[in-house]
Amino acid sequence: MPGSWISVIKGRGTIIKKAGTISRVSRRKPAAPQRNKVEFVEALARGLAVLGAFDEAYSEMTLSEVASRTRMSPATARRSLHTLEALGYLRFVNKKFVLAAHVLTLGAAYVRAAGVDEALMPELRRLVDLFGDASSVSVLDGSNVLYIAHCSEQRAARRTAGIGVTYPAYATSMGRVLLARLRDDQIETYLAELKPLKLTEHTVTDIGRLRQILAQTRRLGYNAVVDELDYGITALAVPITDQAGRVVAAVNTSGYSGKLPVDQLIDRRLNDLRIAAARISQVFARYPVLLHSIAQNPR
């Protein structure tokens, strides 16, 4: 079976890696932060950009490589690198910089502070207990979906999901559910800027067809994909709303395509998946920090 796709928002685009090949999507420059220029700290932004430049394709880099990936001058990149090294987030080995294990504390702090395990995992475990396979919660992060919780009973060698992993939204059930709930003008902007990559022979990359899929997803309130992100993966997703009815996340249930026809997936799991989404929505009242962390920033 072909290897899994792993994608992470790093540097200036999404890196998608499979079987030793690397392709870029969404290489457009991120929008400038909407902040008071007096309060915006460029040095901090550069430091975060340096951390974000490392991924599975660029797990170790020289100073010049970091400068190129982040579009900084070598002098600026050097200051950021040595500051992060002094703080324990980077190591310098064999004339190259690598991420240090200490960087994991940043993500772990979010999981603890937001109450991710307490708020989201009970429903994901319930779904896995009911159906086996796997279940996840994700949010929209630019043009990708970002996994913030994941539960699986799968014992396969490959890893297809996990906290902090991102995938192109257009090729995933959760991504399509989240995109479908954007305003019409936001959807059109997304589609106009999208340069979809054919991840498998089944991946829909035609913009017109994707527009139809998003409209259908909005109308039905769910989306299912088969073998579009990777071969062997069938997934079904529904939106999660806050108490005001605004979509803030998505939850899915997934399994292996060969054992799970899509019609059967929808018939057997959609109702319980919607129950899980409703329960998570109610849980937000007890975990306001989690809700604030995933809701669209009003600023």
**Residue 240 pLDDT more than 50?**
yes
89 compared with 10, residue with greater pLDDT: 89
- Taking residues 67-80, report their average pLDDT: 95
**Residue 14 pLDDT more than 80?**
no
Percent of the chain scoring above 70 in pLDDT = 84
**pLDDT tens track for 20-46:** 333 333 333 444 455 556 788 999 999
Ordered by where they begin, the domains of the chain are: 6-105 (1.10.10.10), 114-294 (3.30.450.40)
Strands 60-61 and 233-241: unpaired
**Residue 205 pLDDT more than 70?**
yes
Look at residue 22 in the predicted model and tell me its pLDDT.
33
Look at residue 37 in the predicted model and tell me its pLDDT.
67
**pLDDT tens track for 100-152:** 999 989 888 988 998 999 999 999 999 999 998 899 999 999 999 999 999 99
pTM above 0.75, yes or no: yes
Within 13 Å and on the Cβ side, how many CA atoms surround 101?
A: 0
The 3-state secondary structure of 160-215, one letter per residue: CCCCCCEEEHHHCHHHHHHHHCCCHHHHHHHHHHCCCCCCCCCCCCCHHHHHHHHH
Look at residue 164 in the predicted model and tell me its pLDDT.
87
pLDDT grade, residue 257 (50/70/90)? confident
Q: How far is the C-alpha of 136 from the C-alpha of 19, rounded, in Å? A: 25
- Taking residues 227-249, report their average pLDDT: 94
Q: For residue 66, what are the CA distances in angstroms to 5, 53, 57?
A: 24, 7, 13
* Residue showing tokens 């009242």: 285
- Taking residues 61-78, report their average pLDDT: 95
Q: How far is the C-alpha of 88 from the C-alpha of 83, rounded, in Å? A: 9
